[in-house]
């Protein structure tokens, strides 16, 4: 089509050139004719104005002169028309040239538009893939956040109590995901129960013990999974599962344990649907073989709740978590630490559903259990901080530090103040010297406290520093942080002396 248009344009140009050429030739003829007529008209004017001419010649000259004037006017008009035609042809040629230029630009823009369309299609496909990737990553982030929230507040312990021996502590988290009961030597005090609780439980359920070969297989599978060698771990689990089903039958506790191991591997691969199916099968087997009130059933229920939480199915997870809570309350007692951990899990599930009144209730119950069972100095009291209740958390931290101070140095007075009081006095500007600091003697005594019994004081100090910084009390936080740094670096052989906390004006606060 472009070739035909080009040929048509060249033909048009040739036609216009021919018209212009002929018109210019005509103009030359007309100009020559006009000159001749003007010369004749001038001669006739001389004859008409001559005194010697005959009267007849004069009349003839005047008559012809008027006729020549009409002819000259027509010739001039023809010349004007010819000039207009020439100008019009020039204009048309320019228009045609501009048209060709625009046609070329249009063709180039069309090609560029086609290229841009291809680029846009590629960009849209990349954008679609990136959006899909973002959605997948958001889901993974939600799963990871939920998994993190379901951990107990003290990160030094797993969410569930596994009861494994020291040689298996590296696999505590995994073991508890599988719902393993304690070792043989702990059968008499299973899951921290009293003797009467153990007897009452054993009357209702079978006494089950994880075989050593399954523990060994479990550790091997976890090692492969941690190295990302799922192509080895999965067939190993499936082969072991087939052997157990062939030798012991489908409804056997060992089969349930193996199903748990395989579910754990699938969970690590992100195959939550397959893992949930296996855990449901394990739950059915454990309920049949161990009884519906067995701690292993509670552990499986909790693992299912965690798995549903990873998939965002909080409503489905909540009844499972509640049932696990009831089992643990019935078997372990309502004040057992494992019950508190289950309450924490249930509170987090309710929190994700916006059930804040129930969240408050479960957290408060868990906190009361922690304080009752472990004492008010236990770091698990930081549950308030997890809820953003800074005032309640601050009160608990101050009570811990005050109790530790009074236990070591005696009753609080104007000359015997705990570290948090000095820090808040500095924050409020009540200390007269801005460069005051805790004396080395006081640091030594507080370092002595931090080494007594448990690391509660150190943990509480760190939590209080973080809390002060959240509240904008940076001076108070700096004082406690400076003391905590000194306590960590001071030697064990420091002078152990009791006395009130003083402020040394020679050192900077």
Task: Tell me whether residue 55 is in a domain.
Answer: yes
Domain CATH number, residue 11? 1.10.287.1700
88: burial class by Cβ within 10 Å (0-12, 13-18, 19+)?
A: middle
Q: Is residue 97 part of a domain?
A: yes
4 burial via Cβ count (<10 Å: 0-12, 13-18, 19+)? exposed
Same domain for 355 and 400, yes or no, is no
My answer on whether 495 and 348 are in the same domain is no
For residues 130 and 255, state if they share a domain: no
193 within domain boundaries: no
Q: Which of 146, 165, 194 is the last residue of a domain?
A: 146
* Cα dist from 224 to 180, 234, 356, whole Å: 20, 9, 41
Report whether pLDDT(67) > 60.
yes
Range of the domain at 55: 2-146
Q: Is residue 71 assigned to a domain?
A: yes
**What is the number of structural domains in the chain?**
3
188 occurs within a structural domain: no
Say yes or no: 302 and 158 in one domain: yes
What's the Cα-to-Cα distance from 198 to each of 191, 233, 330, rounded to whole Å? 9, 36, 12
pLDDT the model gives residue 320: 94
Q: What is the pLDDT of residue 508?
A: 31
What are the pLDDT digits (tens) for 246-258? 888 888 888 998 8
**Is residue 381 one of the residues assigned to a domain?**
no
Six-digit token pair at 379?
């770091």
* Same domain, yes or no: 128 and 160: no
Is the domain of 304 the same as that of 416?
Answer: no
The Cα–Cα gap between 335 and 200 comes to 17
The enclosing domain of 417 has a CATH number of 1.25.40.10
Q: Are 400 and 418 within 8 A, CB to CB?
A: no
| Per-residue model confidence (pLDDT) at position 506 | 32
The verdict on pTM exceeding 0.95 is no
> What confidence score (pLDDT) does residue 317 get?
92
Provide the pLDDT confidence category of residue 55 given band limits of 50, 70 and 90.
Answer: confident
Distance, CA of 49 to CA of 334 (rounded, Å): 147
* 311 shares its domain with 349: yes
Q: How confident is the model at residue 338 (pLDDT cuts 50, 70, 90)?
A: confident
Average pLDDT of the segment spanning 85-101:
86
* Pair 165, 300 in one domain: yes
H-type alpha helices, 333-377: 337-352, 356-374
The confidence score (pLDDT) of residue 448 equals 54
Instruction: Specify whether 42 is located in the same domain as 121.
Output: yes
Share of the chain above pLDDT 70, in %: 67
User: What 3-state DSSP class applies to 457?
Assistant: helix
* Triad 318, 322, 324: Cα angle to 5°: 120
Same domain, 59 and 137: yes
Q: Say yes or no to pLDDT of 353 above 50.
A: yes
Give the separation between CA 326 and CA 469, rounded to whole angstroms. Answer: 39
Residues 297 and 395: their CA atoms lie apart, in Å, by 38
Residue 190 in any domain: the answer is: no
Task: Answer yes or no: do 409 and 366 share one domain.
Answer: no
Q: Assess whether pLDDT exceeds 50 at residue 56.
A: yes
Position 189 in a domain: no
Mean local confidence (pLDDT), 459-473:
77
pLDDT digits (tens, 9 = 90+) for 153-191: 333 333 333 332 333 333 333 333 333 333 222 222 333
* pLDDT beyond 80 at 198: no
Rounded-to-integer distance, Cα 145 and Cα 243, Å? 37
- Statement to judge: residues 261 and 343 lie in one domain: yes
């Amino acid at each position: 089509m472009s070739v035909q248009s080009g040929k048509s344009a060249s033909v048009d140009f040739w036609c216009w050139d021919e018209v212009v050429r002929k018109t210019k030739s005509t103009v030359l003829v007309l100009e020559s004719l006009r000159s001749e007529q003007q010369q004749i008209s001038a001669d006739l004017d001389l004859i008409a104005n001559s005194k010697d001419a005959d009267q007849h010649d004069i009349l003839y000259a005047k008559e012809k002169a008027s006729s020549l004037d009409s002819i000259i006017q027509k010739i001039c008009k023809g010349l004007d028309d010819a000039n207009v035609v020439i100008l019009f042809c020039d204009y048309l040629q320019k228009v045609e040239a501009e048209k060709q230029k625009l046609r070329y630009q249009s063709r180039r823009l069309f090609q560029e538009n086609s290229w841009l369309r291809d680029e846009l299609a590629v960009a849209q496909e990349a954008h679609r893939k990136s959006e899909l990737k973002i959605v997948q990553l958001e889901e993974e982030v939600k799963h990871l956040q939920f998994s993190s929230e379901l951990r107990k507040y003290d990160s030094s312990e797993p969410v569930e109590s596994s009861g494994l021996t020291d040689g298996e502590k590296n696999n505590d988290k995994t073991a508890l995901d599988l719902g393993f009961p304690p070792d043989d030597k702990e059968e008499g005090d299973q899951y921290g129960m009293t003797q009467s609780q153990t007897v009452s439980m054993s009357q209702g359920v079978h006494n089950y013990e994880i075989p050593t070969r399954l523990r060994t297989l479990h550790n091997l599978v976890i090692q492969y999974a941690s190295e990302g060698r799922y192509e080895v771990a999965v067939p190993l689990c499936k082969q072991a599962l087939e052997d157990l089903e062939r030798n012991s039958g489908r409804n056997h506790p060992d089969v349930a344990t193996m199903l748990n191991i395989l579910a754990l591997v699938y969970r690590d691969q992100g195959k939550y649907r397959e893992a949930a199916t296996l855990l449901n099968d394990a739950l059915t087997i454990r309920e049949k073989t161990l009884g519906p009130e067995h701690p292993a059933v509670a552990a499986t229920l909790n693992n299912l709740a965690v798995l549903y939480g990873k998939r965002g199915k909080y409503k489905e997870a909540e009844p499972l978590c509640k049932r696990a809570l009831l089992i643990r309350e019935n078997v372990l007692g309502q004040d057992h630490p494992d019950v508190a951990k289950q309450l924490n899990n249930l509170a987090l599930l309710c929190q994700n559903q916006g059930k804040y009144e129930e969240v408050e209730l479960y957290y408060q119950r868990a906190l009361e259990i922690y304080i009752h069972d472990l004492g008010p100095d236990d770091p698990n009291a930081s549950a308030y901080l997890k809820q953003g209740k800074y005032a309640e958390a601050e009160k608990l931290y101050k009570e811990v530090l005050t109790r530790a101070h009074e236990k070591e140095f005696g009753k609080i007075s104007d000359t015997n103040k705990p570290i948090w009081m000095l820090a808040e006095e500095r924050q409020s500007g009540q200390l007269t010297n801005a460069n005051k600091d805790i004396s080395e003697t006081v640091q030594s005594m507080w370092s002595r406290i931090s080494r007594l019994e448990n690391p509660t004081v150190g943990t509480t100090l760190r939590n209080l520093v973080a809390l002060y910084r959240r509240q904008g009390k940076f001076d108070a936080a700096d004082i406690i942080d400076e003391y905590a740094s000194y306590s960590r670096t001071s030697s064990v052989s420091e002078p152990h002396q009791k006395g009130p906390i003083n402020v040394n004006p020679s050192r900077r606060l």
